[in-house]
Structure 1
């Protein structure tokens, strides 16, 4: 029985093709088994729907000891927090939490610590609040695009 289940480990759940690039994708509970091409299509569709279109943070050099400033929004100049999503794309979030009643549904995010053996948080991902609505006073992190106020005269 185990041998029969092992045969589909290289089968993409989206296109059905067997390939060496097929593997479990996603950061939490491995969302599905996709080949590289199908994963990029799926993750990009999710990112566009959620507004997770921020560029990834640069990897700091381990030998660089200079101060790292938080990134700023190019449109409004406010500080933003950039986090990876569960589907390996990046989202710009506001620097404050707000009650769920003050944040429209498409802009609600939560920060979640990835499960690890260590007690110290090693990686945090942004998870879009879906399915069950949070209580009105429950804190959520709004997407920065909800709070972005460009200077007057800009489109």
Structure 2
């Protein structure tokens, strides 16, 4: 799996197929090599588990010079920050950082700058905090759904 095949093509880590849609996926280094179909399945599963189901922000018109306001949650009316994740899905985050001790594990996110080698306009992505627990006083950005209280 992932070995170079004929014509310098890689194999998908999930289904083993090779072709023009197989490429490195993810925003930090190499998450894995997936075909388009397997990547969408994998990324959608991660997004569902993480609650990263927000719609992407529309691209601003380059000729429009008006101030861009943050979006508003349709359920509670609070302002939210919408960021892309490291697996190309979008998440709504709270406007404030809180100490990790005040945010349940499932809702902890960090905002991280992308390395300069990625030529995309969004240079900040949201990364779920997992694996190593942060210190209790370390700041994390909670997912908005943790703080959302419908009107």
Please say whether Structure 1 and Structure 2 have the same fold, judged by a TM-score greater than 0.5: yes
Is the 1:93–1:141 contact (alpha carbons within 8 Å) kept by the matching residues of 2? yes
Is the 1:97–1:140 contact (alpha carbons within 8 Å) kept by the matching residues of 2? yes
Q: In the aligned structure 1, how far is the partner of 2:116 from the partner of 2:93? A: 24
**Pairwise mapping of residues 1-155 of structure 1 onto structure 2 (< 5 A)?**
6-7=4-5, 9-116=9-116, 123-151=123-151
1:125 is displaced (CA, Å) by 0.5
Q: What SS does structure 1 have at the residue aligned with 2:47?
A: helix
Gaps of 5+ in 1: none
TM-align CA RMSD: 1.5
Q: In the aligned structure 2, how far is the partner of 1:9 from the partner of 1:139? A: 42
Q: What SS does structure 2 have at the residue aligned with 1:109?
A: strand
Q: In the aligned structure 1, how far is the partner of 2:105 from the partner of 2:89? A: 20
Q: Which protein has the larger Cα radius of gyration, Structure 1 or Structure 2?
A: 1
| Runs of 4+, deviation exceeding 2 Å | 5-10
